[in-house]
Structure 1
């Protein structure tokens, strides 16, 4: 296993209804600075939400990618993955087309950066937001399958993988649904992102977590590690500081060790986006936006359960 840290831009979703103008202490820093800072804390790699890379003037975008790769290589760390959570399912076809195009642009960037995969969840959801009001499940499944097929083909031409999150609010929120979708698409470069919060809130009520990890092990290439608490349904969940939620980190480490997981375990701290009791963030609605604390204390906590960077071994 390799440990990495996921870096976010400010106001990552480009909208205000969930978390307001969300801010974090690294959100306005250059990506090369973020890579240097991450390496300084001892991580094996740094991961970026794709919007962070887009947050520069257009005429600086291409050079930024070149500089970021050179910086990471000079530091001796990897750029693990890009996270591009974009629209694949929508009653608005123009939004869906734009979302697929954005993901393909993220794949192009990943190729320049030397990443192995780009991660996505099936935006804009199905249960959250409740698109089931406007789309039948059959139609949402079709849209999802066709979008994954299209981006997987684009990724294949670049020698990259597409890694799909199993996530509570999407149409792919069960182990068997991931398996079914991957079988239907039939692309050799499809992988899965395991979000520990999703597994302990959405998977565990239906399947033992160790069993689920073993069953999906051949697909998992990224683990996004966080703590989570459940609210009235599996969709309404909140990200909480390590140790305050329902994730069993010892069990997670043992299960990943049993499948000989060699990919990235990425600290994905989303609780800086304070959104109240139903939205994003901690249940009290108070976010922890100091990413220096996040970077340092996450390693301290995870080390108690066996998660240590390769660079420290």
Structure 2
């Protein structure tokens, strides 16, 4: 059994998805700060690792990139902090071949960045969904599944040259939305550097209705490489991406902590606070609108909360 669940904190840019209707031109208090500045802040709050949402890296202009890589690696060493993952949500499933090609190319660039900066794994959900958006109107499930398998293989083979893993996020709305689909993906992709990203909110809104949480975590076992930690409520729409402040949603954090420890999970658990973006019934964020955007409060208080329920170093 794992002695403790290592906590990391995810760094977000402003407007991470662009000016999408579901997220809006949202901003957070760290959104305009450098990655290096954020890492130091995260270390100050006592986290053991940091994670980066890939658009934050994409903001770097070519003449800035090399110096930022040096600063990141130097700060990691000075602060003794790990870089578990880059989150690069990109397009693997679509009837538009050019969008898919661009999506795979983007993911490979994220792998390049992981190699440069010292990240362990690159995470993606298999966008652009299948159930949300309803691509089943324009392509068959068989076609969508084939695209997922072949794109995942291509990405895994590319990452292998750098000794980097890729992690597929199980999430509602996509074709990988339950444990059976994830296990089938592992079998058909057949690459040892492909893992699952467990999104804690998703597991309580989407997985739990089909399977008890501890059973789900046992079935995934050592194929879990990243855990995204958040709280959610599940309104009756496909995505159910209504994020709420820790303790206000459906997640049983003690149960999930026990489940991960029982399978010996030893990687990082990233506080993934998304509710600073525009929410509402169909938004990505807090149901009542814009949620807490003060990331200093988020970093401090989410860690305090999680430590009460078996996460982190606090006994």
Fold similarity call, TM over 0.5: yes
Write the mapping of 1:244-263 to structure 2, written as runs, cut at 5 A: 244-263=248-267
Aligned to 2:86: 82
1:114 & 1:191 partners in 2: Cα distance?
A: 18
Question: Offset of 1:16 from its aligned partner?
Answer: 2.4
In the alignment, structure 2 segments of 5+ residues that lack a partner are: none
1:157 & 1:193 partners in 2: Cα distance?
A: 21
Write the mapping of 1:95-106 to structure 2, written as runs, cut at 5 A: 95-106=99-110
What SS is found at the alignment partner of 2:90?
coil
Q: Does 1:125 align with 2:129?
A: yes
Aligned to 2:240: 236
Question: Offset of 1:69 from its aligned partner?
Answer: 1.4
Question: Offset of 1:72 from its aligned partner?
Answer: 1.5
Question: Offset of 1:43 from its aligned partner?
Answer: 0.1
CA-to-aligned-CA distance 1:57-91 (integer Å, 9 cap, x gap): 22212321222111111111011110001111112
Question: Offset of 1:287 from its aligned partner?
Answer: 1.5
Question: Offset of 1:118 from its aligned partner?
Answer: 0.6
TM-score normalized by the length of structure 1: 0.97
Write the mapping of 1:210-221 to structure 2, written as runs, cut at 5 A: 210-221=214-225
Q: Contact between 1:66 and 1:112, CA under 8 Å: does it hold in 2?
A: no
Q: Does 1:149 align with 2:153?
A: yes
Aligned to 2:29: 25
1:274 & 1:177 partners in 2: Cα distance?
A: 30
In the alignment, structure 1 segments of 5+ residues that lack a partner are: none
1:286 & 1:52 partners in 2: Cα distance?
A: 20
Which of residues 183, 194, 205 is equivalent to 1:190? Answer: 194
Aligned to 1:298: 302
What SS is found at the alignment partner of 1:218?
helix
2:13 & 2:173 partners in 1: Cα distance?
A: 23
Q: Does 1:137 align with 2:141?
A: yes
1:182 & 1:283 partners in 2: Cα distance?
A: 34
Structure 1: 4+ residue segments shifted above 3 A: none
CA-to-aligned-CA distance 1:115-157 (integer Å, 9 cap, x gap): 2111111111111111111111111111111110100000111
What SS is found at the alignment partner of 1:223?
strand
2:134 & 2:71 partners in 1: Cα distance?
A: 41
What SS is found at the alignment partner of 2:265?
coil
Aligned to 1:205: 209
Aligned to 1:161: 165
Cα RMSD (Å): 1.2
Deviates more, 1:155-164 or 1:228-237: 228-237
Deviates more, 1:163-172 or 1:110-119: 110-119
1:221 & 1:210 partners in 2: Cα distance?
A: 17
What SS is found at the alignment partner of 2:222?
coil
2:15 & 2:254 partners in 1: Cα distance?
A: 33
- Matched length: 311
Which of residues 8, 15, 21 is equivalent to 2:12? Answer: 8
1:56 & 1:161 partners in 2: Cα distance?
A: 23
CA-to-aligned-CA distance 1:168-207 (integer Å, 9 cap, x gap): 0110001000011110010011111000011001100100
TM-score normalized by the length of structure 2: 0.96
